[in-house]
Amino acid sequence: MAPGSSVDEATLVAAASAGDGDAFMGLVELHQAKVRALARGLVGDPALAEDVAQDTFLRAWQGLGGFRQEASFSSWLYAITRRTALEHARRRRRREEVPLEAAPAREDGRSADPVLRLDLDRALAQLDTEQREAFLLVAVLGLPYQEAATVLGCPFGTVASRVARARARLAAWLTGDGVEGSRQRASGEEVTR
């Protein structure tokens, strides 16, 4: 089964579960951008996020036989991504720290605006871990609340309240010193209040 063919996800999962490496590569191609985005949002560091994504797919390949299809493959994969990110962050003792490094390349290969990337990293750093995870799954990856609840292992209402609190905190931060202050600092201007 060639990666990139127009085979549906369920067929790829079935073939990969039977040991078809090409089918698993098709699943990787389908989900790698979102896994990387989730990992980056959770750990902040682009290099660490790449490690998390690679470990996620390795764990998924190794654990595919245990995938019970009670949830969608993507929910199962995002749950692995979340656990892997938390393990990596714990090991590096950087769970709440978001580095202010240069922006990573975008999916299309072009460089992202460093100030914009810095603003997003700083904004996400304003959220506690639970709010950040819920916000990334729902607002960034576009998962329905129920699917995010499955990934996070908590009730639907908990996800909804975490996302609402995250949006409120981000709105307050973005309308305050957050975005404008970081743009002024990046351009060398003095921030005044």
CA 175, CA 110: separation in Å to the nearest integer? 28
CA 30, CA 5: separation in Å to the nearest integer? 11
Domain boundary residue, one of 99, 134, 151: 99
Residue 99: pLDDT above 60? no
Mean pLDDT of 141-156: 89
Number of domains in the chain: 2
Mean pLDDT of 17-46: 91
CA 53, CA 49: separation in Å to the nearest integer? 6
Residue 4: pLDDT above 70? no
Same domain, 120 and 145: yes
Same domain, 178 and 111: yes
CA 25, CA 31: separation in Å to the nearest integer? 10
- Residues spanned by the domain of 175: 105-193
Same domain, 94 and 127: no
Confidence of residue 101 (pLDDT cuts 50, 70, 90): very low
Residue 109: pLDDT above 70? no
